[in-house]
């Protein structure tokens, strides 16, 4: 995978921290404590978005990064709403720069694919912003592989590369293995997948009667409602207990151990919830354990109609 760096050349960490909870489930105090825990563990890559918590996420993160800004890779996202039109991108970027208190955004993602805007318009605007020195890297989030490849082709017309891609990926959501992860490796994009804990399902807390997105958000309840997913989460907890570790540690370490070396984005609502995911930074995933965990949920079929040859 592509190695990205902070403004002063510090390498992006093997895990990223997502601040979607900042200003929402995590107040400013909890956010600051999690940020400090991440920094102590060596995290240098922080991820937010224009739409997270109505802008509070970017504002809180901006305060926290001030003292170490040049040694951190700061990523945000535009165009979740309003489309990926040039005017929307520029307005969103300007708002994010002000909220974060930084002149240059290290990585700007298109938050999702916009079928109603010509890709040429989108990536010409991004090329101009990069040439103007307002962004350092360009990313795409929630794009299918074919959309990503098409975007790369269009971007190349403006002498622009796409440096990052952000798909959903976990033990119970493995579709990215079929095309996105190998595509990213082949095209030298850093893959920074989100939700390595499956909305918290793989932390084991729901089996213990805990609450969170799966009980509070209908989208997440539907996304992770399949029986096979819950059975896998229960078995993961058993495997983790037998090895004296936390299921969240295994889940994050498993996602990071894919042969294409992705950078999973971890998140939490408080430091105690974050700790097991951070522990994945130092967890050495043995091949036999990787295979055992991979077998908990069937792998998605390959991207070919000649499955007998796959």
Q: Please report where in the chains the tokens 């975007």 appear, as a residue.
A: 151
**Residue 60 DSSP class:** H
> Measured between alpha carbons, how far is 89 from 309 in angstroms, rounded to an integer?
44
- In terms of Cβ atoms closer than 10 Å to its own Cβ (0-12, 13-18, 19+), residue 54 is exposed
Reading the block at residue 1, the tokens are 């995978």
Note if 52 is an active site residue. Answer: yes
Residue 4 makes CB contacts below 8 A (sequence gap 6+) with 11, 12, 45, 73, 106, 107, 137, 163, 164, 190
Pick the closest to residue 275 from 4, 36, 25, 78 (CA basis). Answer: 36
Break the chain down into helix, strand, coil percent, rounded to 5.
Answer: 45, 15, 40
Residues labelled catalytic: 52
């Amino acid at each position: 995978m592509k190695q990205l760096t902070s403004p002063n050349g510090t390498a992006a960490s093997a895990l990223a921290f997502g601040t979607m909870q900042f200003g929402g489930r995590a107040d400013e105090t909890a956010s600051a404590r999690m940020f400090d825990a991440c920094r102590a563990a060596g995290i240098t890559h922080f991820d937010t978005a224009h739409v997270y918590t109505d802008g509070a996420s970017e504002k809180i993160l901006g305060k926290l990064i001030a003292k170490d800004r040049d040694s951190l890779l700061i990523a945000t996202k535009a165009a979740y709403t309003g489309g990926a039109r040039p005017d929307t991108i520029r307005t969103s970027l300007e708002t994010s720069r002000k909220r974060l208190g930084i002149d240059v955004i290290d990585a700007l993602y298109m938050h999702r694919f916009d079928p109603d805007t010509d890709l040429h318009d989108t990536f010409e605007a991004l090329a101009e912003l990069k040439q103007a020195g307002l962004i350092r890297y360009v990313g795409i989030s929630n794009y299918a592989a074919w959309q990503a490849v098409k975007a790369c082709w269009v971007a190349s017309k403006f002498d622009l590369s796409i440096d990052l891609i952000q798909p959903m990926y976990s033990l119970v959501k493995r579709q990215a293995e079929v095309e996105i992860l190998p595509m990213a490796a082949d095209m030298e994009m850093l893959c920074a997948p989100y939700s390595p804990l499956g909305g918290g399902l793989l932390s084991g807390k729901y089996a213990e009667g805990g609450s969170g997105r799966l009980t509070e958000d209908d989208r997440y309840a539907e996304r992770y409602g399949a029986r096979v997913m819950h059975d896998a989460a229960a078995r993961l907890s058993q495997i983790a207990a037998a090895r004296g570790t936390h299921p969240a540690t295994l889940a994050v370490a498993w996602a990071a151990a894919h042969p294409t070396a992705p950078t999973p984005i971890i998140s939490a609502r408080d430091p105690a919830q974050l700790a097991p995911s951070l522990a994945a930074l130092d967890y050495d995933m043995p091949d036999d354990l990787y295979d055992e965990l991979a077998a908990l949920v069937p792998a998605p079929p390959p991207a070919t109609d000649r499955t007998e040859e796959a």
